[in-house]
Amino acid sequence: MEHHAVGKAVFEQQCSICHGAGAGQKMGAPVIGDTANWTERLQKGYEPLYQHTINGYNQMPVMGNCLTCKPEDIK
């Protein structure tokens, strides 16, 4: 499976739990489609986002709680 397809599958199965509209919004997770919220984060570049996802950050668990993911899957 190519990287884009892996990333999409990981998002749909794991990340969307908090980063889709729903429970994560209450915890402050930026939601896909909320351009203003993501723009602020992306101004720092992608690497901090990768590191936060891989290592955990605030209420976000390590690897976004994806027990089968590898760092490459996240990136």
What pLDDT, on the 0 to 100 scale, is given for residue 40?
87
φ/ψ bin of 13: left (φ > 0), alpha (ψ from -120 to 50), beta (otherwise)? alpha
Largest CA distance in the chain: 33
Across the 75 residues of the chain, what is the mean pLDDT of every consecutive 10-residue run? 77 88 76 88 92 92 90 85
For residues 44 and 23, give the distance between their C-alpha atoms in angstroms, rounded to a whole number.
26
Answer yes or no: pTM beyond 0.85.
no
